[in-house]
Amino acid sequence: MKINLIKNYYQNKQHLAANFNHSISMRGILKRKVKDEETYYKDFISKSGKTTTQECMDIINNHPYTINQCHITCDKERELYTDPTTLAKIAIGLKEYYDKLYDRNYTLVSIGTSPALIAEVMQNIGARVIFLPISDLRNMGDINHHPMRNIYPTYASRFENIDALMKYATKKGIAKKDAGKILILDYTNTGTSLDIMKKIIEERGDIPKENIVKRSLENDAKKVGEMGIVNITPASIRALQTDLANSNLSSLCNIPHFNYLEGFSNFRHYSNNEIMKKIDEYSTISGRSWALWVTCEAMRLLKLRQE
């Protein structure tokens, strides 16, 4: 009897020790996993440039920690009246509207910072997008009926800025044969910036004028809601209009803010190629967090449609 008790004691002790060691081992694995996820998140958030479809899909499928951390970042820095789901719906609606309108044969040119977040999400769900970080074009004045350099000969440096962007646009494929319609997208108040950008692109001479189309983010978002392409309430459209008017979207994108007057003043000693590289590599924690969150929402909504 005593021998059996001793035997059972040692067996139970070994069992407990094994379970204890197993628990320590599992805790170690979990700690390593959390550490690995933290490392992945830090790498993602510190990357340069915009998010990609493949990157977002990988995070959605394999890295919930990163999604959660980006949610936390967005909640802390939330400056928007428009919620992420509505932004996702707008991106889906605009893409589907343009797909139908132009038979999927178009390149979206996102002008400045206001439309950049939504344009990035559109890119992540399949649209062709070129980002041009140029703002305040309306301050150039009326250039509709005159060659720009003849009107503003003393503004040579300002036109050098625009020339740098046009070379960047060329590099990104704005004049390729398969670029299709060139949709110039901007938040519009008076529409002057769109008029000027259309004139600038026309003066390149390598894109047919009939292929250059002005698009207003504010007007088109309202239109896709009214047409029922996506379910966007009038209140959501008003929230978007407020965010656009207050430039709230501008601070939450992966595009630098340059104006045609002074925005490039710190880049005078850089070559065009160096400026292009800096535009491509620009990103912020807020920009990457918001782009991931809204893209996740867009992919979720698109998946629900298929089910």
Can you give the pLDDT at residue 193? 81
Can you give the pLDDT at residue 31? 56
- Structure tokens that stand for 102 in this block: 């132009």
Can you give the pLDDT at residue 151? 43
- Structure tokens that stand for 148 in this block: 């720009």
Q: What's the CA gap between 104 and 180, in Å, rounded?
A: 9
Q: Quick check: is 45 in a domain?
A: no
Residue 292 vs residues 32, 67, 236, 289: alpha-carbon distances, Å: 24, 7, 21, 5
Q: What's the CA gap between 299 and 151, in Å, rounded?
A: 48
Residue 118 vs residues 2, 140, 250, 275, 294: alpha-carbon distances, Å: 77, 26, 11, 24, 8
Q: Quick check: is 107 in a domain?
A: yes
Q: Quick check: is 47 in a domain?
A: no
Residue with tokens 């979720």: 300
Q: Quick check: is 31 in a domain?
A: no
* Contact predicate 218/241, CB 8 Å: yes
Q: Quick check: is 71 in a domain?
A: no
* Coil vs helix vs strand at 43: helix
* Contact predicate 190/138, CB 8 Å: yes
175-213 tens-digit pLDDT: 999 999 999 999 987 778 888 888 888 888 899 999 999
238-282 tens-digit pLDDT: 999 999 988 888 889 999 887 766 556 666 667 778 888 888 999
Can you give the pLDDT at residue 156? 45
Instruction: Find the helix or strand (DSSP H, E) in which 227 lies.
Output: none
Domains: count for the chain: 1
Can you give the pLDDT at residue 209? 93
Mean of the per-residue pLDDT values for the chain? 83
Q: Quick check: is 283 in a domain?
A: yes
Q: Which domain holds residue 202?
A: 84-306
Can you give the pLDDT at residue 259? 73
Q: Quick check: is 220 in a domain?
A: yes
Using left for φ > 0, alpha for ψ between -120 and 50, and beta otherwise, residue 126 falls in: left
Comparing CA positions, the residue from 85, 74, 88 lying closest to residue 120 is: 88
Q: Quick check: is 3 in a domain?
A: no
* Contact predicate 178/280, CB 8 Å: no
Comparing CA positions, the residue from 268, 12, 11, 243 lying closest to residue 158 is: 268
Can you give the pLDDT at residue 86? 95
Could you say which residues of the chain have pLDDT below 50? 1-7, 9-10, 13, 144-148, 150-157
